[in-house]
Amino acid sequence: MTTTTTTGLGRARRGVAPGGPGRPPTAQRKSRLSSQTTRTFFWLLLPSVLLLILIHGYPLVYAAIQATHNGSLIDTGQFVGGDNFVKVLTSPKFWKAAEFTLVFTIVGVFGSWLVGMGLALLLRTRIPAGGTFKVLLLLPWVVPIVVSSTAWNWLVATPTSPIPTIFRTLGIGAPYFLADPILSAVMVCLFKVWVSFPFMMMMTSSALASVDNTVYEAASMDGASRWQQFTGITLPLIARSTYISWILMTIFCVNDFPTIYLLTGGGPVDATTSLVVLAYRTVFQDFQTGPGVAIAFLMTITLVAISAVLYRQIRKSSVE
C-alpha cells in the first residue's frame, strides 16, 4: 500500500474528500447534571440495582459456599476450603474438557464471524430478493435448538443417513460422524457455526449500515483497491461492534450446553465434553456438587478475564 493510498484511507475514514481539509476540531462539552437530578436518578436506579444484587448475588454466594464444601444437592457438607479446586485442576477430564472448550469456542466465534461477515457484505450489495434471502438466513438462529439438533442427527447419525449415503455413493466410504471422536468434534463445531452465524451477520449488518458510502468513494478516488478499502476502512469502522460480538459469542460458546448435549451428549468417549457439560455431569449425575460448582467458577473467572481483554480493545478501537 503506497503512502498516498494510506493517507487517502485515513482521510476517507474521517469523512474527508480527497484534497479537502480535515474537519475542524469541535469542542465537546459534557453536560453536568445538577445535584438534585443526580439524587433523583440515584433513587430511581436503586430499586433495580438492589433487585439485581438479590437475583444474582445470592446464587453466587451460595455457589461459593458449595464450591468450598464436600456436600451434595441436599446437604452442604463439611468445609474443605480449596480442595475442590485442587481436585478439579488435577483431573485429566477437566483439562480434556478445557481443551475441547477452547477449540469449540475459537471455531464458534471466528467461524460464525467469518460466515456472518461474508453474508453481511453480500447483503450490502443489491441482490434479487435480498429481504427474503436475509429472512431465510435467520432461520438457523430462530429455529429451536431441539429441532436443529434433531435435523442434524437425521443427516449424519447413522450409516443410512443422507450425508453418509452421499459419501458412500461417491466411493469415499460411510464415516460415522457422531461415533468417531474426531469427526464428532468437527460436527459439533460446524453445528455451532451453523446456529450462530445469523447473530454475527445481524451484528455486522448493523455496523455496516452506519458506514457512509462516501468514505469508499473517497478511497476509490485515492486509488485504494477493494481489499485495501476492506482492511483500511470497513474493519476499523466496525471494530467496536466486532469486539462486542466476539465477547458475546465467547460467552455463548463457553456456556453452550444444549448444542453439545443434544447432538452428541458429550461423547463419544468424552470427545465433545465441554466444561459446562462436565460441570453438569459432575453435579447432576455424579452428585459431586463441590467439584461441579468449582468448574463453573473457573469458567466464570476465565470469561471475565477474556471479556476484560476484549473490552480494552473496544476502548482502543476508536478511529482517529
Q: Is residue 25 part of a domain?
A: no
**What angle in degrees, to the nearest 10, is found between the helix axes of 3-13 and 213-221?**
160
Residue 39 lies in a domain: no
Q: Please give the model's pTM, rounded to 2 decimal places.
A: 0.81
pLDDT at residue 58 above 80? yes
Q: Compute the distance between CA of residue 260 and CA of residue 151 in angstroms, rounded to an integer.
A: 14
- The answer, yes or no, to whether residue 12 has pLDDT greater than 60, is no
Q: What is the pLDDT of residues 63-111, one digit of tens each?
A: 888 888 888 878 888 888 889 999 999 999 999 999 999 999 999 999 9
Crossing angle of helices 92-106 and 239-254, in 10° steps, is 150
- Give me the pLDDT at residue 172, please: 78
Whether residue 55 lies inside any domain: the answer is: no
pLDDT greater than 80 at residue 9:
no
75 domain residue, yes or no: no
Query: What's the structural domain count of the chain?
Result: 1
Q: Is residue 231 part of a domain?
A: yes
Structural domain harbouring 169: 83-316
- Answer whether residue 35 is part of any domain: no
Q: What is the CATH number of the domain that holds 296?
A: 1.10.3720.10
Q: In this structure, is residue 65 part of a structural domain?
A: no
Average pLDDT over residues 282-292: 89
Residue 236 CB burial class (10 angstroms; 0-12, 13-18, ≥19):
middle
Is 236 a domain residue? yes
pLDDT in tens, 217-262: 788 887 778 888 888 888 888 888 888 899 899 999 999 999 999 9
Q: Hey, how many other C-beta atoms are within 10 angstroms of the C-beta on 144? A: 9
